[in-house]
Structure 1
Amino acid sequence: MREGMIPAVLGTVVTASSAAFLGSRYKIAATGILGFGLAHIVLGTIDLFEHR
């Protein structure tokens, strides 16, 4: 498995699951978790392009 694939996939799962909570009463927590998910996607993508 290519390096960076796991963080990118994990970030996608975290981002999608936190987006489901944006409409609930836990909006602030969901926004923070969404940021962590997006950071994982960005860092995983950087690793994918860096280790071609």
Structure 2
Amino acid sequence: MREGLIPTVLGTVVSASGATLLSSKYKLVGIGVLGFGLAHVVLGAIDLVEHR
């Protein structure tokens, strides 16, 4: 399995769950979860590009 694939997939799942929280009464929590997920996507993508 390629290095960086797991953080990228996990970040996508976390970002999607954070996006669903944005429409609820927990908007601030949703923003935090979305940012955390997007950070994982970016760091995983960097690993994928770096270790071709």
Q: Please give the TM-score of this superposition, normalised by the length of structure 2.
A: 0.98
* Cα RMSD, aligned residues only: 0.4
> Distance between the aligned counterparts of 1:12 and 1:26, measured in 2?
20
Unaligned runs of 5+ in 2: none
User: How many pairs align?
Assistant: 52
Aligned structure 1 segments of 4 or more residues deviating by more than 4 angstroms: none
Q: Percent identity?
A: 69
TM superposition shift of 1:18: 1.0
3-state DSSP of counterpart to 2:7: helix
Alpha-carbon displacement from aligned partner over 1:10-45 (angstroms, at most 9, x marks no partner): 000000011011011100011001000000000000
